[in-house]
């Protein structure tokens, strides 16, 4: 076969990346489940955004003044179909991915998402094990969909909830959605067997930090793992400022003063959350009381063992949550000349891209210029998922 080169654009730098000779058999990367990047980080986790739409307008993600009725969402024909998503996922799994998280936007807004989950549940890791398939949701549709999601093959859910005070929660989601409905969704997920359930609370200093203790009291001993996330500088529309970040260390200290905590070991390599367990009378972790997690991407970067890739709803591959643009995989799915093995070329492209990865934005944040990314705006969380 004659050599043919297809350059996949890394638009984060406003230029073409080194051309990926995915059409040259001699240069193709065949998967063996052991792919690693320039810093030795494996590819184990794939996050897939299935929609760029959401029914909430949280100020830290999709502020209403930007995402209004005139906002240009992606047209349906630009989105990857479920079959295309599954083909891409299969290629990633062959390279070592073991966990797939479906995100958005709000993923439960994607029509018939249960069909996608069924397709992904059929995939197997390189050693023949089922994938860990999970989904992050704002919980607004969870009560209605929990049983169907479980039946389709979903294993776990993570629910975003930024406070228990109804007035605070309605103000933060900015669409007047009641907190009681999210709590009912969490209960429905637990009843359906979607667990262990995680609840993510983004802590924005000056907005909802007073909800930390009520949230901890509410979920302690319920089997739900509550995680506190530092307010992050993802995208360019949330008006991020460092003085609105409450360090995770302060969160742990605050909770520990009332409910003593002991630090726990990570459950898996590359885990984003630092784990803290509630202590019993003997000072040791009491599993019956449960645990919390803190995600400190601002004050304690965890780039060193980041093993996550992100696929946008229109098929762009991003190597970092703080990237500006991604590599277009959709062109390989839809534009490969006849006679070519599309899946093989896709797999090779992923291999070349990940091997060249050196992203570690959070570690370098303090030394980077404000317009890092070649002058382009960083990708929005609503587009790529958290």
The larger pLDDT score, comparing residue 357 to residue 232, is at: 357
301, pLDDT greater than 80: no
- Residues of the chain with pLDDT > 90, as a percent, come to 66
CATH 3.40.50.10260 given to domain 9-27+39-216+233-251+301-384: no
Of 45-59, 92-106, 325-339, minimum mean pLDDT range: 325-339
Q: pLDDT by residue (tens digit) across 329-366?
A: 998 888 866 556 888 889 999 999 999 998 776 666 55
* Mean of pLDDT over the chain: 86
Of 4-8, 69-73, 261-265, 342-346, the range with the highest mean pLDDT is 261-265
Q: pLDDT at position 378, please?
A: 59
The larger pLDDT score, comparing residue 250 to residue 320, is at: 250
Section 309-320 average pLDDT: 93
Would you place residue 18 in the very low, low, confident or very high pLDDT band (cuts 50, 70, 90)?
Answer: very low
Q: pLDDT at position 278, please?
A: 98
Would you place residue 25 in the very low, low, confident or very high pLDDT band (cuts 50, 70, 90)?
Answer: low
d(CA 158, CA 235): 22
Q: pLDDT by residue (tens digit) across 127-143?
A: 999 999 999 999 999 99
Of 57-71, 90-104, 164-178, 214-228, minimum mean pLDDT range: 57-71
125: number of Cβ within 10 Å? 17
16, pLDDT greater than 50: no
Helix pair 113-121, 82-94: axis angle to 10 deg? 30
d(CA 385, CA 104): 5
Of 16-30, 91-105, 164-178, 249-263, minimum mean pLDDT range: 16-30
231, pLDDT greater than 80: yes
């Amino acid at each position: 076969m004659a050599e043919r080169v297809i350059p996949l654009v890394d638009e984060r730098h406003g230029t073409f990346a080194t051309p990926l000779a995915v059409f040259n058999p001699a240069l193709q990367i065949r998967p063996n489940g052991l792919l690693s990047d320039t810093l030795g980080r494996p590819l184990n986790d794939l996050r897939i955004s299935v929609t760029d739409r959401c029914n909430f307008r949280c100020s830290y993600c999709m502020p209403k003044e930007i995402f209004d009725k005139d906002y240009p969402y992606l047209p349906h024909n630009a989105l990857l179909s479920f079959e295309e998503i599954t083909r891409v996922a299969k290629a990633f799994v062959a390279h070592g991915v073991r966990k797939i998280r479906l995100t958005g936007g709000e993923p439960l807004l994607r029509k018939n998402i249960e069909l996608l989950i069924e397709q992904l549940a059929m995939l197997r890791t390189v050693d023949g094990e089922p994938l860990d398939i999970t989904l992050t949701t704002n919980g607004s549709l969870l009560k209605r969909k929990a049983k169907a999601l479980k039946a389709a093959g979903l294993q776990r859910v993570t629910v975003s909830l930024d406070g228990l005070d109804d007035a605070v929660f309605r103000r933060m989601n900015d669409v007047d959605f009641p907190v009681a409905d999210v709590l009912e969704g969490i209960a429905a997920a637990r009843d359906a067997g979607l667990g262990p359930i995680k609840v993510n609370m983004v802590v924005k200093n000056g907005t909802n930090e007073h909800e930390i203790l009520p949230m901890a009291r509410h979920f302690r001993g319920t089997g739900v793992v509550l995680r506190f996330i530092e307010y992050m500088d993802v995208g360019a529309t949330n008006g991020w400022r460092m003085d609105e970040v409450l360090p995770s260390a302060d969160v742990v200290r605050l909770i520990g003063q009332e409910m003593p905590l002991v630090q726990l070991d990570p459950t898996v390599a590359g885990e984003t959350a630092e784990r803290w367990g509630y202590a019993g009378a003997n000072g040791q972790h009491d599993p019956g009381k449960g645990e919390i997690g803190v995600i400190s991407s601002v004050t304690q970067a965890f780039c060193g063992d980041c093993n996550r890739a992100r696929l946008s709803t229109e098929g762009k591959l991003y190597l970092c949550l703080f990237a500006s643009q991604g590599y277009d995989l959709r062109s390989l799915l839809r534009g490969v000349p006849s006679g070519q093995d599309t899946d093989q070329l896709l797999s090779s492209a992923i291999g070349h891209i990940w091997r060249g990865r050196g992203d570690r934005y959070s570690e370098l944040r303090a030394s980077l210029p404000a317009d890092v990314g070649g002058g382009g705006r960083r990708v929005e969380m609503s587009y790529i998922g958290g």
